[in-house]
Chains A and B, each alone.
Chain A
Amino acid sequence: MSLDHILTPRAYLTVFFMLLVLTAVTVYVAFIDFGAWSTPVAMAIAIIKATLVLLYFMHLRYSDGLTWLVIVSSFIMLVALVLITLGDVFTRTMTTAPPALGM
């Protein structure tokens, strides 16, 4: 564990320029027709950007396992929130009441 790992300004600048380039890329690809893949492509680029911020600006790369555990858990909870909600809403069907049991 090394909470005191110090990154150089040069490293921060490199990450900064990568983030700016990826922002330009996300705007550029938004004007290309990927059909149903448009949002996944945009989200993939956003995830790469977020990962760069997490690893370098937020020093996650040099953080201990406990920090990783918290982040990975919160990500899993988020995925569960999305998938379970969408799975529910998009599988709802109108049902008719079953007939009353006879006599």
Chain B
Amino acid sequence: MSDTLNGQSRLAHHFVDLQQQKSAATLGMWLFLATEVLFFGGLFVAYTLYKLKYYEAFVAGSHELSITLGCVNTAILITSSLTMALGVYGAQTGRKAFACNSLLATLALAGAFLVVKYFEWSAKFEHHLVPGPDFQFDVTHAAAVVANPELLRIEHVKMFFILYYIMTGLHGIHVVAGIGVIAWLYTQARKGVYSAEYYTPVELVGLYWHFVDIVWIFLFPLLYLLGRH
């Protein structure tokens, strides 16, 4: 096992070997993801609570979102998870070019996700669907899509959009952060830092990226597909 690169040891002095170092790093990443589960979890609880209280308004708000764009972004993110997994595979098997190309594809897909998000958000801004003094929502128009229109309140629709922006916004920030770390991985991979013996950073960034994918897997049906029948 080569645990050195350019004469410099990659094994920190407090670990016995690279395997132990990798186990510790992996555990640390999973612990970080556990805190992320609770970070997003609070928002999912807020969403569930308000959805149960203001169901009509949440259905009306959900109908303002584009299922097509939501689907496109879901497909983009799932594909980026695939390319990230392939990037880890490339690093694990010492295929440098394959790993670099997979990471590059992941970056491109993450960028595409944000571009779609930009168009989605700017359409909402144009339609005054931003909670605040200029918020406009046609309750009579929405009455057609909900079961009990008399329960519909514009303040409650605002609550849907507050949660929509915070949840997709926080997720978007995670995508931006992901682009940053994957770009760093790419430059490192280009330099030949990773090999079949040492690829822990690729594996750990992969875990983070798949977590971001999982959050979107839950956000998509909750925000976009509510009460569509």
Contacts and interface: CB of A to CB of B under 8 A. Distances in A.
A66 to B, nearest CB: 6
Nearest to A90: B52
A31 B214 contact: no
A39 B93 CA distance: 42
B45 to A, nearest CB: 5
A31 B229 contact: yes
A12 B86 contact: yes
Contacts of B79: 16
B198 to A, nearest CB: 11
A23 B74 contact: yes
B22 A16 contact: no
Contacts, number: 132
Interface in B178-229: 203, 206-207, 210-211, 213-214, 217-218, 220-222, 225-229
B144 interface: no
Interface of B: 19, 22-23, 26-27, 30-31, 33-34, 37-38, 41-42, 44-45, 48-49, 51-52, 67, 71, 74-75, 78-79, 81-82, 84-86, 89, 92-93, 203, 206-207, 210-211, 213-214, 217-218, 220-222, 225-229
The 7 lowest CB-CB distance pairs between A and B, nearest first, are A74-B34, A30-B225, A42-B221, A33-B229, A16-B82, A74-B37, A70-B30
Given A58-B206, A78-B44, A81-B42, 12 more contacts: A3-B26, A6-B93, A16-B82, A31-B228, A53-B217, A54-B210, A57-B206, A59-B203, A67-B27, A67-B30, A70-B30, A70-B31
29 contacts: A3-B23, A7-B89, A9-B86, A13-B82, A15-B82, A16-B82, A20-B75, A23-B71, A26-B221, A26-B225, A31-B228, A31-B229, A32-B229, A42-B225, A46-B217, A46-B218, A49-B214, A50-B214, A53-B213, A53-B217, A57-B213, A58-B211, A67-B26, A70-B30, A74-B34, A77-B41, A81-B38, A86-B45, A86-B49
